[in-house]
A and B are shown apart, each in its own frame.
Chain A
Amino acid sequence: MADVKSAETKAPAAPSAWGDDPFHKPQRRLTSGGLVALLVKVVLLAIIDALTIFAVWVLVAKGDWIAAIVLALVVIGVNFIYIRPGLLPGKYLTPGLAFLAVFQVFVIIYTGYIAFTNAGDQHNSTKEDAIAQIVRTSQERVPDSPEYTVEVYKQADQFGLLVAEPGGDTAFGTSDQALEEASSAPDGWEKLNLSQIVRFQDEILAINVPVSDDINDGTLRTSDGQKAYVYVSSLEYDESADTFTNTETGQVYADDGQGNFRAEDGTTLTPGWRVVVGWQNFAYAFTNEQIRDPLIRVTLWTFFFAAASTFVCFAMGLFLAIVLNHPTLRGKKIYRILVILPYAFPAYLTGLVWAGLFNQEFGFINQVLLGGAQIPWLAEPWLARGVVIFVNMWLGYAYMFLVCTGALQSLPDDIIEAAKVDGAGAWRIFRSVKLPLLFVAVAPLLIATFAYNFNNFGVIYMLTRGNPRFTDTTLDIGATDIMITMVYKVAFGGGGGRDLGLASALSILIFIIVTIVAVISFRQTKALEDLN
C-alpha cells in the first residue's frame, strides 16, 4: 500500500489533459503499430481462437453448455478488444486480467459455492459418474462366465480390448465404449507386447469393457492381458426408479437428496455425488464438538501468532537497526549483510532445518547446546508455540531490520537536534521523537506483515505441521495449527479423508476475518486516499 503512496508523491501523476484518448492519432489506422505488430496480433488471435473452437467443441460434446457459452463469449470479447481500434487500456490489461479473473476472482467465488456443498473424497463428481463408479466397484466375477481370449491395445493413454468370443466372433471395446463387432482393432490402436503388458499392469487391471450398452449386463475384465471374464455388479441400477438394488440381499438404495444412495437401515453406497447442502458445513464447524472447540483455539492462536510474530520481528529488527545505525561504526556494511542472511534463505527450508535442530532426542539444541537435555520442544503445546514464533522471528526480523534502518536514516536531523538542545537524553529522544516518527513510516508495513503472518502457511507446516495434536478431537488439528494450515489439512491431509466442503467453509471464515482486518487497516492508514 505504502509503495503507491511514495511513488505518487515522488512523481506527480501524468497530466490528465489526455482525456479519454490517451494517444492522439494522427490518422485513423487499423493498428497503431506496423505490419509486424499486425501480423503478431493476427497470429496470436488465430491461435487463441482455434484453441477456443476446439475447447468449445469438447465442452459441447460433454454436454457442458454453460462453460462452452461462457468461454465463447469471453473469447469473442477478447477478439473485439484487439481487433477494434481504440480501447487501448483494454489491449494492455486483458492478458493479466484474464488470469486474475479465473485464478483469483473466480476461485474465491467458487470457494463460496463449494462451502455450501458436500464436496469431498466421497462426493467429488456428478451423479452419473457416481452411478457408473458404484456399478464398477461392486463387480464380482460371474461364476460360470465363459472365457474370452483378448489382446490389449493402446492409443495415447487409452486402453482397449480386442476380444475373441467363445463363439468365434471378434469384437473391440474400451472402458468408455461397449463391445462392438470388429475383425480387428481400429486404426491408430497399437497392440501391446508382453513387456508392455507388464509395464502397464495397473492400467490393464482397470480396463472394464461393458458387454453391451446396458450397464447391468456386466463388463469384461482381464487380470493377465490374455484371458477375460464377465463381471457383473451385485448392485443393479434401476433408471426409472433411480434406485440401486442389491441382487443378493434385495436391499434397496434410494437417492437421499444429500448426494448418496441410502438404504432404509442408513447404509450408503460410495461414492456419492456433489450436491448443495446449504449451511451444513458452517453449522458443523460451529456445533460439532470434534471441531468447534479446536477451531476456536486455532483462531485465537492464529491471531496471537500473527501479532506476536509481527511484534518480535519488529522489536528485534528495530533493536538491531538502532544498534548498527551509528555514523562511525566500523564494519557496519558487512554486519548488515550478514544479519539479513536469514531473509535470503528460502522460507520453506527454514522450518525443516529448525525442526531438525529442535528435535527432542537428536537435535542440536538439546544434544549440544543443552548437554543432552530431553526438552520436548515440538511436542509440548506451549513450547512448540514458542518455538514457532522464535523460528518465525529468525526468518522475519531481517525484513524489519531493513525497513527500520531505512526509516531511521530518513528521520529529519533538525528535529533530533532540537530535542538535544532542549536537553533530552538519548533514551528520551528515542522514545518521544524517533519512535513516533518511525511508527508513522512503518505502520502500513506492520499491518501488511500481520496480514502476511495471519496466513503464513510455510513456517507452520514445515516446522510442526500443526503438531502436537489436540487430544480432544479425532481430526488432524494441533496446537500450532493456524487457520490456513487447518484448511489445507482438512482439504488435502491424510487422516480422516478430504472434506473440501468444510475446508471451503473455513476458508470463507478466514476471508471474512481478513476483510475485516483489511477494512480497519485501510481506514487507519487511509492508503486509498492517495490513489488518484
Chain B
Amino acid sequence: MSDVIPRGSNVNAADSGLGLKGLEAVDRQDALPEEPRQNRQSFRRWFVDKGWRHVVAWVAILFALFPLAYILSVSFNPVGTLTGSNALFQRFDLRNYTNLFNNPDVPYGQWYINSLLIAIVTSVFTVLLCALGAYSFSRMRFRGRRFGLVTLLVLQMFPQLLAITAIFLLMIQITDVFPAIGLGTHAGLIMIYLGGALGVNTFLMYGFFNTIPTAIDEAAKIDGAGHARVFFTIMLPLVTPILAVIGLLTFIGIIGEFAIASVILTDPNQQTVAIGLFQLVSGFQSQNWGIFCAGAVLAALPVMVLFLFLQRYIAGGLVSGSVK
C-alpha cells in the first residue's frame, strides 16, 4: 500500500497552520533550498508558483468545513430551531445534548447502542467470513475458483438495496417460522447485512493474502500444522492490517445504512441512529434542529475519528487499487 501523504513534504505540524498572513515568511524559507538564490524571489513570482495554491486550499477547506462548523455551532445553541441557528458560535449551552438523552420520545441512547451493536457484530462476522473466503481463494486451487471470483465481482454490481422488496417479504416469511430472527429484530438485520459481506471485501482481502509469501504457511504445514491451525494462528495475525481496515469500513458503512434498516426495524426502541435522526427532522420541521445537530455531532464523532485515524490505510487501499 502506498502512502497518500508524499514524503517530499518536510512540513511539521507547527508551521502548518499558516494562513495568508504568513505567506511572506513561507516565501523566504521556501526559496532558500529550492532555487539557487538568484535574487529575492518577488511576491509575484512566488504567488504564481505557490501562493495561489494556498488560496485555493483555504477556499477548499472553508467549503469542506463550513457545514461541519455549522452543525457544531447549532448543537451548542439553546434556541434549537432552524431560524435561531444562523448566528454561528454566539452561545454555548449543552441543553440540546441533555435533551437528547432525557427526552422519552427520542431514545437517542438506545439508538446509539443499537447502531453500535449492529455495526460491531456485523463487522466482526464480515471480517471472519471474508477472511475465510479470501484464504481459500488465495491459497487453494479448486474447480470453480475462477468462476467463484468472477461471480463475486459481478454480484457486487447489484446492491442489496435493489432487492429490498424481496428482502422484506422474505423476512415476513421468516418471522412466521423464527420470530427471533425475523422482522423487527437486530439479528435479522445483521443476517441481511452479512449477505452482502462477501464481494468487494473478499477482493481486497484476497489481494492482501496474495502478498503474504506462501512459503510461510507451507513451512507450517510441513511442521505438521493442520489447515485450521495455519489459518487461525499463522495467517490471520499476518493479515491483521487488512482485517482492521475491512472491519472498520464495514462498521462505518453499517452505521450509516438507512434504507434496509428502516424497512426491517419498526419499533422506535429497536431503531438505529440513522433512522432516528432522520425521523427527528423528517419533513424538515425546524423545531428539532438543535437536538438533531447535537445528535449528528455525537453520531459523526466516532466515525470521523476512526476515519481520520485510518485515512492513510484507507487512502492507501484506494490508491493502490487505482494505480497499476
Q: Contact residues of A with B, CB < 8 Å?
A: 1-11, 13-16, 18-20, 22-24, 26, 31-34, 37, 55, 58-59, 62, 64, 88-89, 92-93, 95-97, 99-100, 102-108, 110-111, 113-114, 119, 124, 319-320, 323-350, 352-357, 359, 361-364, 367-368, 394, 398-399, 402-403, 405-407, 409-410, 440-442, 444-445, 451, 455, 457-458, 461-462, 484, 487-488, 491-492, 500, 503-504, 507, 510-511, 514-515, 518, 527-528, 531-532
Contacts and interface: CB of A to CB of B under 8 A. Distances in A.
B304 A352 contact: no
Interface string B137-162: 01111110110111001110111111
Contact of A34 (B50, B155, B226, B308): B226
B256 A344 contact: no
Interface in B266-314: 274, 277-278, 281, 284, 286, 289, 292-293, 296, 299-300, 303-304, 307-308, 311
Given A353-B296, A364-B86, A114 B64 contact: no
A344 B304 contact: yes
Given A103-B196, A344-B311, A359-B82, A492 B300 contact: no
Given A341-B65, A500-B168, A503-B165, A514 B284 contact: no
Contacts of B322: 2, 403, 406-407, 441-442, 444-445
Contacts of A329: 9, 50, 53-54
B164 A487 contact: yes
Given A343-B307, A344-B303, A457 B259 contact: yes
Contacts of A342: 64, 67-68
Contact of A458 (B83, B150, B154, B256): B256
A328 B54 CA distance: 12
Contacts, number: 410
23 contacts: A1-B153, A3-B207, A4-B207, A7-B207, A8-B207, A55-B178, A58-B177, A89-B140, A96-B132, A103-B192, A124-B172, A327-B9, A328-B50, A330-B15, A335-B16, A338-B61, A339-B61, A349-B71, A356-B286, A409-B2, A440-B324, A458-B256, A500-B168
Q: Which of A8, A331, A445 has the most CB of B within 10 A?
A: A331
A362 B11 contact: no
Which range holds the interface residue count of chain B? 35 or more
A407 B132 CA distance: 32
A336 B169 contact: no
A13 B70 CA distance: 50
B321 A352 contact: no
B198 A100 contact: yes
A300 B208 CA distance: 39
Contact of B315 (A58, A394, A406): A406
Q: Which of B11, B166, B199 has the most CB of A within 10 A?
A: B166
B94 interface: no
Contacts of A405: 4, 319
A430 to B, nearest CB: 15
Contacts of B17: 331, 334
A349 B299 CA distance: 9
Given A32-B227, A96-B130, A528-B153, A104 B160 contact: yes
Given A329-B53, A344-B308, A399-B318, A462 B158 contact: no
Given A5-B324, A96-B129, A356-B284, A11 B210 contact: yes
B8 A327 contact: yes
Interface in B6-34: 6, 8-9, 11, 13, 15-18, 26, 29-30, 33-34
B46 to A, nearest CB: 11
B324 A441 contact: yes
Contact of A15 (B11, B143, B204, B214): B214
A329 B284 CA distance: 43
B140 to A, nearest CB: 4
Given A18-B140, A111-B163, A331 B18 contact: yes
